[in-house]
Structure formats: structure tokens, C-alpha cells
Amino acid sequence: MEQSDKERAQTERLENDYEVARSPTIQKITNKVCGCGYIGSSWTTQSEAEKLLKYLKLDENDTLLEIGAGAGWPGLYLAKQSGCHVTLLDIPVTGLEIAKKRAKDDLMSDRVCALSGNAANLPFQVPTFSAVSHSDVLCCLIKKQEVLKECRRVIHSSGLMAFTVISIQPDLSDRERKQAIQVSPDFVETEVDYLTMFENTGWGSISYEDITEEFQRSCQLMMLAEQEQEEGLRALKGDIEFEEGKVAWELKLKAFSKGLLRRELFVVKPI
Ligand SMILES: C[S@@+](CC[C@H](N)C(=O)[O-])C[C@H]1O[C@@H](n2cnc3c(N)ncnc32)[C@H](O)[C@@H]1O
């Protein structure tokens, strides 16, 4: 599936980010958020991963699809804890290579399939999965409703989907909205809210949590971790990128203090 220039730029940046994420310095930083030794690029914490396990009621009979799977967090963790099979799908291949190595090290390659593909055009013909999950993925892509429709197409009628997503608080002034977009993932904006998207794509919401406070705490932890790893980060990324990163954190924290951002956890089922 053709990507727009902006989507291609994001994929190229992520290929590089996953490559850099192999470094122990970045692993120490990202592990401050996930907390259990996986390489993560979403804001998903271990306690949120536990919530996903609980909401999806996963066990060894389940077949989970994780879209935007990155380097395997939290999909591999969900499979390890529950014994289920997991298919990890993402566009950048570098993250998937890291995930495959982790699955091998954890002796669970027989339960893990890693595929490069676009979630707006899933490479499965029939309903194949009993569960779908994604972590801060819809805010990283343009075709949100196409992806929701595709997830609906490939899940069993009795399946469940759980996911987190970052969005902009409604009813902001133009100036505040601009500020929020500046510190958010590339494609955070939506034409309609998520509940309307569910109605449009065949999903019904069964559970909802506002996890903005946890998101803010994770950002603070990550900012502190970057300060602790300053020397290693400067060596890895260069001084200019390090300084730009510091400014970006300050802007993000300002946006939180003004209540401009939101992060939510949705659990939905096919209708
Ligand atoms: C915030 S990262 C989450 C990665 C990982 N699950 C984690 O929690 O660390 C979002 C991921 O969504 C992926 N993504 C964006 N658009 C996609 C699409 N159309 N199809 C599949 N994956 C996509 C990106 O490549 C990126 O790896």
C-alpha cells in the first residue's frame, strides 16, 4: 500500500529509532517506561500491559494480533504471560528483527510470527484472530478508520480488541490546539472522535479508562532517564539532537500542565 510522503518520513525515522534502540543507553531510557526489559516506543507501562492481559482475557488458546508492534512491546509480553500465539505486524522491519530475536531468546519463537505490513490493508483473508491490541498506534497513522475496519474484518465475532491512543483534548482554542499538536505523535488529529469511529467501523465500546495521568508520569520518568543518560545520549545522537530533545520535553510538560493532551485505553468488541 502506497504511503504518503509524511508517512514514509515517519517510517524512515522509526527504522532509525529502532536501530538506535539496540543501544544499552536507549534501552535504559525506554525501560523506565515499560519497566520490564522490553524495547518500547509507546508509553505503555507494565501495569497497562497487565490491564491489556486482563481486558483481553488471553490464554494459550488465543491468537493475538498486535498491530504497530514495533520491537515487540507489549505483544511479546502478552504472549509470554498468557501462553497465546501472537502475530506482530508493523511497517519498519528493524523493530520486527529485534522482536524476533527476543522471541528466540525467550524460547517462544514457535508462538510468534512477525510480519512487515500495513494495518490499513491486513494480509489475512478470513477472520483469524481472537484478540487484537495496539499501543499508541492510531495516533501514528492517517487512515484510522481503515485500520479499525481491517481489525474488525480479521477478528472472530466473539473476539476483543484493546488499545491505547493519544489524542488532543476537545474544545481547545486554536492556539492551544497548535501547542498540543506540536508535542504529539505525527498523526494525532482526528476528523471525528473515537466513539464515532467505532460506530462507523463495526465496533462497540465495552470499557474505557482515561490514562492521561499515567502518561504524564511516564513522560516525567523518561525525561529524568534522559538526563541521567546525558553522556551516552550525546555520544549517540550528537549535541544538537540532545538539546532539541530537552526543549521538546519542556514543551510537552507545559502542554500537560495546561491539560492539552489525553491518553485513553479502549476495549471494544465486534457488533
Ligand atoms: C508508538 S509506536 C508503538 C510501537 C510498539 N508497539 C511499542 O509499544 O513500543 C507506533 C507504531 O505504529 C506503527 N505504524 C504506524 N502506521 C502503521 C501502519 N499503517 N501499519 C502498521 N503499523 C503502523 C509504527 O511503525 C510504530 O512502530
- CB-based contacts of 85, cutoff 8 Å, min separation 6: 62, 63, 64, 79, 111, 112, 113
- The mean per-residue pLDDT over the stretch 42-60 comes to 96
Residue 125 has pLDDT above 90, yes or no: yes
Residue 258 has pLDDT above 80, yes or no: yes
| 6 sits in which H/E element | helix 5-20
The CA distance from 165 to 237, in Å, is 28
Confidence of residue 36 (pLDDT cuts 50, 70, 90): confident
Confidence of residue 123 (pLDDT cuts 50, 70, 90): very high
- The mean per-residue pLDDT over the stretch 17-24 comes to 92
pLDDT digits (tens, 9 = 90+) for 88-100: 999 999 999 999 9
Q: How confident is the model at residue 31, as a pLDDT?
A: 86
Percent of the chain having pLDDT more than 70?
100
Q: How confident is the model at residue 175, as a pLDDT?
A: 96
Residue 1 has pLDDT above 80, yes or no: no
Give me 4's grid cell.
Answer: 504518503
How far does residue 81's CA lie from ligand 1's centre (Å)? 22
pTM: 0.95
Confidence of residue 84 (pLDDT cuts 50, 70, 90): very high
Q: Which runs of E-coded beta strand occur in the chain? A: 63-67, 85-90, 112-116, 129-135, 155-168, 203-210, 261-270
- The mean per-residue pLDDT over the stretch 221-227 comes to 91
Which ligand 1 atom is the nearest neighbour of the CA of 120? 19
pLDDT digits (tens, 9 = 90+) for 196-205: 999 999 999 9
Q: How confident is the model at residue 167, as a pLDDT?
A: 97
Give me 47's grid cell.
Answer: 501495569
Q: Are 180 and 261 in contact (CB under 8 A)?
A: yes
By most ligand atoms within 8 Å of CB, the mutation choice from 97, 140, 144, 222 for ligand 1 is 140
By most ligand atoms within 8 Å of CB, the mutation choice from 31, 48, 90, 186 for ligand 1 is 90
Give me 204's grid cell.
Answer: 462497540
How far does residue 225's CA lie from ligand 1's centre (Å)? 23
Which ligand 1 atom is the nearest neighbour of the CA of 136? 1
Comparing 27-31, 159-163, 187-191, 256-260, which segment has the lowest mean pLDDT? 27-31
Confidence of residue 34 (pLDDT cuts 50, 70, 90): confident
How far does residue 71's CA lie from ligand 1's centre (Å)? 9
What's the distance, CA 206 to chain centroid?
Answer: 20
Q: How confident is the model at residue 124, as a pLDDT?
A: 97
Indicate which residue's Cα is closest to atom 27 of ligand 1.
70
Pocket of ligand 1 (CB under 6 A): 14, 40-42, 44, 67-70, 73, 90-92, 95, 118-120, 135-137, 140-141
Q: How confident is the model at residue 102, as a pLDDT?
A: 96
Q: Which domains does the chain have, with CATH numbers?
A: 5-167+187-212+261-270 (3.40.50.150)
Q: How confident is the model at residue 87, as a pLDDT?
A: 98
